[in-house]
Amino acid sequence: MIQSRGVAILITVLVLLSMSLGTVLTKMVFSVVSPAAFLYLSLLVGMAAMSLYTFVVKKERIPHELMTKKIWSYVIQIAFFNFVTGTLGFFSLKYLPATTNTYLTNFIGFMTMGMSMFILKEMPGFYQVFGAAIAFAGLRIFFPEPPKGGELIGVIMILISITGVAYTNNIARKLALETENKISNNIISTLAILIGGSVAAVIYLIVDGWPPYVPRWTDWAIILYSGIVMRAMGLTIWNLILRTLRSYEASILGASTVIWTSILAVIILDEVLTRNQIIGIVMMLAGLILVQVRRSLRNKPKPPATIPTH
């Protein structure tokens, strides 16, 4: 456990920067490598890295006495919605700018809050609803015209992806509550990526075929980066951070990915931010901060989610 909050915040920012860099690099690789090939290769790398870390480095074992049918059903749901439908968020980079992709992905927090009313019976307060309204109003400004063509396909993919991940956030919290955090986060995360990643890898392998076309060594380097840093290390370090920072603190920091991604996309991909996009991003950040800060005043700290929410 990280003892210092300052160190935890610094590590969180570094993790988020690495995630934003990965998003931009993924968008760049999609110009030469098919999204399906990139996804199944990075998933295989992430599965191997997580298994090595959990079962070899940490020497953890699956607690079979705690893994009831109900708990396995939760794990399978987390696996499917986070690593099968959830990977559509990366696939959408084929159709959307990196900045737009990250902007839409950050609405996971609001969808998680909405679903928690039905799954966990946790009702939002006035300020939470008001914050969500501000954020969603920003969507109208960010998209002055309704998405069309390929952009619409990308938006639909993002919607499916964040709906699935928001659902898994609630299921992960429900699992943590019912098991009283007796099952290691590493075990849950590793089982989820092994089950869901295997299904997703097979699907994308069927779509793209074998062998994958990866022409440059730099493309392989980015695939390794995505699998190790974004899927394995990012997941493990995020869980470690949540042992020190409260969930709302991490969520507020997590929303900064839209800022880092926007900056990196302008520098690396030559993307251009319009005035409408900047206003929409500011409204989304304001809404998320209002929701999370108000939650911190009203509620006690919650158990950390097994899967990152951004």
- The 10s digit of each residue's pLDDT in 138-155 is 999 999 988 999 999 999
First to last CA, the chain: 22
Instruction: State residue 310's pLDDT score.
Output: 43
109-145 pLDDT per residue, tens: 888 888 888 887 878 788 888 888 999 999 999 999 8
CA–CA dist 80, 73 (Å, integer) = 11
Joined tokens for residue 128: 């939470």
Pairwise CA distance, residues 273 & 262, whole Å: 8
pLDDT tens digits for 165-218? 889 888 887 888 888 878 888 899 899 999 999 999 999 999 999 999 999 999
Instruction: Give residue 168's Cα distance to chain centre.
Output: 11
At residue 254, the pLDDT reads 77
Dig out the tokens for 52 from the structure.
Answer: 């090595």
For residues 96 and 27, the answer to whether their CB atoms sit within 8 Å is: no
pLDDT confidence of residue 309:
42
pTM: 0.85
pLDDT of residue 306: 44
| Nearest CA among 272, 274, 270, 266 for reference residue 145 | 274
Contact 177, 303 (CB under 8 A): yes
Q: What is the pLDDT of residue 249?
A: 66
Mean pLDDT score of the chain, rounded to an integer? 87
Lowest-confidence pick of 47-51, 52-56, 89-93, 117-121: 117-121
Tokens 């992905």 found at: 105
What per-residue confidence (pLDDT) applies to 119?
Answer: 85
Nearest to 31 by CA among 230, 236, 270, 232: 270
pLDDT of 296 reads: 52
3-state secondary structure of 33: coil
Of 96, 104, 76, give the one whose Cα is nearest residue 24: 96
Confidence of residue 220 (pLDDT cuts 50, 70, 90): very high
Q: Would you place residue 17 in the very low, low, confident or very high pLDDT band (cuts 50, 70, 90)?
A: very high
What is the predicted pLDDT for the residue at 247? 59
Arithmetic mean of pLDDT, 228-233: 88
* Residue 244 clears pLDDT 80, i.e. is over it: no
Please answer whether residues 249 and 304 qualify as being in contact, where contact means their C-beta atoms are separated by less than 8 angstroms: no
Q: What is the pLDDT of residue 43?
A: 96
Q: Give percent above pLDDT 70 in the chain.
A: 89
For residue 298, the model assigns a pLDDT of 52
pLDDT band at 246 (very low <50, low <70, confident <90, very high): low
Residues 299 and 159: their CA atoms lie apart, in Å, by 28
Q: Please write the tens of the pLDDT for every residue from 259-308.
A: 999 999 999 999 999 999 999 999 998 988 887 665 555 554 444 444 44
Q: Which pLDDT value is given to residue 304?
A: 44
H or E element that contains 164: helix 149-179
245: its two tokens: 């920072």
- In the predicted model, what is the mean pLDDT of residues 15-42? 94
* Predicted pLDDT at 193: 94
Contact 25, 229 (CB under 8 A): no
